[in-house]
Amino acid sequence: MARFPRLLRTEQPLHRPLTWGDVLALLLVAVLLYVGVRLSFGAPAVVRGPAISLSPTSLPWYAVLSVGRMLAAYALSMLFTLTYGRWAAYSRRAEAVLMPLLDVLQSVPILSFLPVVLLSLSAILPESVAAELASIVLIFTSQAWNLTFGWYQSLKTIPNELREASTIFRFNGWLRFKALELPFAAISLIWNSMMSWAGGWFFLMAAEIFTVGQRDFRLPGLGAYLQEAANQGNVGAILWGVGALVLVVVALDQLVWRPLLAWSDRFKLEMVEGDEPPSSWFHDMLRHSRLAGWLAESVWHPISERLDAFLIRRFPMRDAPSQERRRASWLGFVLIGLAGAALVYGAYRATLLLIVVPPPQWVRILAGVGATLLRVTAALAVALAWTLPLGVAIGTNRRLAAVLQPVVQIAASVPATALFPIFVLVLVSLPGGLNLAAVLLMLMGTQWYLLFNIIAGASAIPQDLKYTTALLGVGRWERWRTLILPALFPYIITGAITASGGAWNASIVAEHVEFAGRTLKTVGIGALIAEATGVGDYPLLLAATLSMVLAVVLINRLVWRRFYRLAEERYRME
């Protein structure tokens, strides 16, 4: 077992603060933002939204619509995760571009660009289709990044003996994915999926209630129901809406997540079974169901075997993926050349927008980045202080998990912005009140990324290692230093990266608050982005957003990438 203090000693060289992959990723994001701004100029001047009924009988249909959007975004996120993360994990050349790009994408404040996304889509598509696609894209951006980081971390930390076994058996890519990679990453993917759904509810609510001037892009769903009830001051309807949301979250916990956690316990890397394996009444019911057994034997197993046989014939068994460079074809060079030319032109057009930003605004941007960085650091420190002990307790105590897991999911699913005005009213009269409120909102929006990853890591600690520490009479602190913290380290880093990106994103609504006819704001890059969005100052909006993205990329290069390398090379379960 590795000792945690070894974390600070490494023979690996530090990652350079900024690589050509980071520069390429920043240029790509800048070009995409510029294209969205240009398209939004052609959006229709007036868009009429649907009528929202506050009758409780409408809630089941609204819940189905909201869950459907979440499911579509989750399916897209999982497809992106499995493809993108595996490509980055097994190709050094691709990793040099894909991981910096992922750092950039998870730090882009998508809430500030929801108007750009909606207006640009409505310029080329019917309004209803544009609103649906924009909501799915917005939810996708809240679900995909932590899933991809978790999948990538799992692939990079697969024990070498398991890789060697798959090589000896000459697994092709499909069998390696099915028999090694997916089972090894199952626990992490399930807990990150729970986090993705919890975070997705906040973005779903934001997407379903969005309006821009005379353009009403609202969508029928739980979010629109709650907003309409709040606008009319209908307390009964608000309670009905919140109750429906809680009921949906509890139903998903009982019918989806608990069965998946009970099923995934078989994939823990251990030699003995745990004392209290996770259980689920629905999972037990399915296991003993004759209909489910018949479907598995008569439908699922034959289809799975035929798919395996087809893919083995199509892709013969071979050695493990090589990270050696391969010679690119002429078509690849042509495509790269065309993409490079488009990127250069787009960067040129975006630069023209940045040039018009006056020097005083750049000074405000620099000061805002520094102020927001302090708030993000404070929020992460507070989040880690309470999520680490609670996450370990939930991940290692099944009885405690049975009680607290639904509570955690419900708490994580309640949109933090719904409670934010209350905290502002309480804290605004205190010295530095808005700063405290901003840190609190960042904390409420990001702490769950850390908690869910820590729970996943604690759940994956092999039972035989726990028995070993007990037999050796290891004390509580020594057990944390030699077993728990090293085992959790990769999961903590994954959670911290996504939580950090979420905190920067949350700064947009935390540092610039409008309610009850008042506008409160503090110094910060999020306040600048919110201000530029409100007045339509696109040059300032682009400059502030790219500055935020650049700051996050530099932090990831200087801090998180080094920790990722340590997790990959020193803290494997092998």
Contact criterion met (CB below 8 Å) for 427 and 433: yes
* Region 544-559 average pLDDT: 81
Say whether pLDDT at 349 is over 80: no
- b/e sequence 34-68, b meaning 16+ C-beta within 10 Å: bbbbebbeebeeebebeebbbeeeebeebbebbbe
Q: Look at residues 153, 141, 147 and name the one whose alpha carbon lies nearest to residue 81.
A: 147
Contact 533, 541 (CB under 8 A): yes
Q: What is the pLDDT of residue 324?
A: 40
- The reported pLDDT for the residue numbered 2 is 42
pLDDT at 6: 38
Cα gap 346→298, rounded to integer Å: 54
Residue 238, both tokens: 């608000």
Please tell me the distance from the alpha carbon of residue 305 to that of residue 303, in angstroms, as a whole number. Answer: 6
Q: Which residue has the tokens 């980055």?
A: 88
- How far apart CA 326 and CA 235 sit, in angstroms, is 64
Answer yes or no: is pLDDT of 198 > 70.
yes
How would residue 245 be classed by pLDDT, with cut points 50, 70 and 90? confident
pLDDT at 4: 41
- Helices and strands, number each (H, E), in the chain: 25, 4
Q: Cβ atoms within 10 A of the Cβ of 516, count?
A: 7
State how far the Cα of 254 lies from the Cα of 479, in Å rounded to an integer. 33
* Percent above pLDDT 90 for the chain: 7
Region 340-360: mean pLDDT is 76
57-66, 179-188, 345-354: the lowest-pLDDT one: 345-354
Computed on alpha carbons and rounded to an integer, the radius of gyration of the chain in Å comes to 24
SS3 content of the chain, % helix, strand, coil (to 5): 80, 0, 20
Element containing residue 217 per DSSP (H, E):
none
Average pLDDT over residues 63-75: 92
User: Stretch 227-234: mean pLDDT, rounded?
Assistant: 74
H or E element that contains 515: strand 512-515
For residue 1, the model assigns a pLDDT of: 39
Assigned token pair, 341: 């030319």
Report the C-alpha gap between 531 and 324 in whole angstroms: 48
Task: Give 304-312 contacts, CB < 8 A, sequence gap 24+.
Answer: 308/174, 308/175, 308/178, 311/172, 311/174, 311/175, 312/172, 312/174, 312/175
- State how far Cα 170 lies from the chain centre: 34
